Amino acid sequence: GSVVVRDVPFRTFVLGNPARSISKNDFWKKQ
């Protein structure tokens, strides 16, 4: 599952939403 978890924020960043990507990365780090 780690690949999928990392792929989610990565895709968001590619879509052009770095703010959302950072938020998701911060969430996963807390988890």
Question: What pLDDT, on a 0 to 100 scale, did the predictor assign at position 1?
Answer: 43
Distance CA 27, CA 5 (A): 11
Give the residue extent of every domain in the chain: 1-31
Burial track 1-31 (b if 16+ CB lie within 10 A, e otherwise): eeeeeeeebeebbeeeeeeebeebbeeeeee
Question: What pLDDT, on a 0 to 100 scale, did the predictor assign at position 17?
Answer: 55
Question: What pLDDT, on a 0 to 100 scale, did the predictor assign at position 28?
Answer: 63
What digits encode the pLDDT tens for the residues 1-31?
Answer: 455 555 566 555 555 555 555 666 666 666 5
Distance CA 27, CA 3 (A): 16
Question: What pLDDT, on a 0 to 100 scale, did the predictor assign at position 24?
Answer: 63
pTM of the model: 0.18
